[in-house]
């Protein structure tokens, strides 16, 4: 423990904490800034609420970082409403990062989705015992979600302790759990997690979606309406809605 300065009688101004946080990673595949900005603009228009203001990491593993005009890219992204915070990858000098207002993440610290190289895994095991990556926290809403409200659990699951009203929208990168009737829209795995599910105690939804596959209520089987149900993606059958529990 660091020793306290002798006059530290007043409350401390800050604490430093290491926290796992989920950030959107932008894997840069070209050094052509114009093309990057054009496509990013399109993406932002598709899903403005999800991406605007979202902190993003630029992953430069796939390109020659030295050839990319980072300062311009970061500036243009900020003008679009995105928030690039750091760069991960090789070949970028610290001076250029500072002038672009970005931090740096060493390439191997980020957990790979499919554990690419054995060497990397071994190195992580050999590293001094640090806590493993924490599961992303669930966002818990302890009141009904009302018509016109939109609630998004970024990077984790969403738990609603009450009903979701008609015209309300609940979204999560992970699962959506609703301990009440679902009468609005629910979207799980909105960043593409096909393993996500929606659970609700009464299916009266307007629309359900997992990883972009959606179904509107018109197409729900009549015997499912009002029942406790799980919505998930099946590799063959696509979006499946199944009742659970007895009744």
Partner 1 sequence: MSRIVVITSGKGGVGKTTTAASLAAGLARAGHRTAVVDFDVGLRNLDLVMGCERRVVFDFVNVINGDARLNQALIKDKRLSNLSILPASQTRDKDALTPDGVERVLDELRADFDYVICDSPAGIERGAHLASYHADDAIVVTNPEVSSVRDSDRVLGLLASRTRRAEQGDDPVREHLLLTRYDPQRVKKGDMLSVEDVQEILAINLLGVIPESQSVLNASNAGIPVVLEDGEDAGQAYNDAIARYLGEDRPHRFLQAERRGLFGRMFGG
CA distances, 97 to each of 1, 58, 91, 191 (Å): 32, 11, 11, 28
| Cβ-based burial of 125 (10 A; exposed 0-12, middle 13-18, buried ≥19) | exposed
Q: Is 226 in the site for partner 1 (CB under 8 A)?
A: no
Nearest approach, Cβ of residue 223 and partner 1 (Å):
20
Residue (70 or 168) nearer to partner 1, CB: 168
d(CA 139, CA 118): 34
Return the structure tokens found at 176.
């959506």
Exactly one of 98, 147, 234, 244 binds partner 1 (CB under 8 A); which one? 147
- Which of 155, 163, 174, 228 contacts partner 1 by CB under 8 A? 163
Of positions 26, 58, 181, 231, contacts partner 1 by CB under 8 A: 181
Decide whether 133 or 148 has the Cβ nearer to partner 1: 148
Count the site residues for partner 1 by CB under 8 A: 16
**Candidate residues 28, 168, 211, 233; the one interacting with partner 1 per rule CB under 8 A:** 168
- The reply to whether 75 sits near partner 1 by the rule CB under 8 A is no
CA dihedral 84, 90, 95, 98 (to 10 degrees): 20
Residue (33 or 182) nearer to partner 1, CB: 182
Q: How far is the CB of 183 from partner 1 (least distance, A)?
A: 7
Give the residue, chosen from 62, 91, 115, 167, that forms a contact with partner 1 under the rule CB under 8 A: 167
Tell me the per-residue interface mask from 92 to 131 with partner 1, x by CB under 8 A, - otherwise. ----------------------------------------
Q: Check binding of 143 to partner 1 (CB under 8 A).
A: yes
Binding site for partner 1 (CB under 8 A): 143-149, 162-163, 165-168, 180-181, 183
């Amino acid at each position: 423990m660091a020793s306290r300065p002798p006059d530290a009688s007043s409350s401390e101004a800050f604490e430093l904490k290491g926290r796992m946080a989920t950030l959107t990673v932008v894997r840069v595949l070209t050094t052509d800034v114009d093309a990057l900005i054009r496509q990013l603009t399109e993406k932002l228009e598709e899903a403005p609420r999800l991406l605007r203001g979202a902190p993003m990491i630029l992953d430069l593993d796939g390109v020659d970082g030295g050839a990319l005009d980072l300062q311009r890219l970061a500036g243009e992204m900020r003008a679009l409403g995105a928030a690039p915070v750091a760069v991960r990858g090789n070949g970028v000098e610290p001076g250029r990062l500072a002038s672009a207002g970005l931090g740096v993440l060493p390439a191997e610290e980020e957990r790979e989705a499919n554990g690419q190289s054995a060497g990397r895994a071994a190195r992580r095991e050999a590293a001094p015992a640090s806590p493993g990556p924490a599961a992303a926290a669930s966002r818990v809403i302890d009141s009904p979600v009302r018509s016109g409200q939109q609630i998004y659990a970024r990077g984790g699951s969403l738990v609603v302790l009450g009903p979701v009203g008609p015209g309300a929208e609940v979204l999560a990168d992970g699962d959506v759990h609703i301990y009440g009737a679902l009468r609005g829209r629910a979207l799980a795995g909105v960043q593409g997690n096909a393993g996500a599910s929606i659970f609700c105690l009464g299916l009266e939804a307007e629309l359900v979606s997992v990883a972009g596959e959606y179904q509107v209520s018109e197409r729900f089987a009549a015997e499912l309406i009002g029942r406790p149900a799980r919505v998930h993606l099946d590799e063959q059958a696509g979006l499946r809605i199944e009742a659970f529990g007895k009744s």
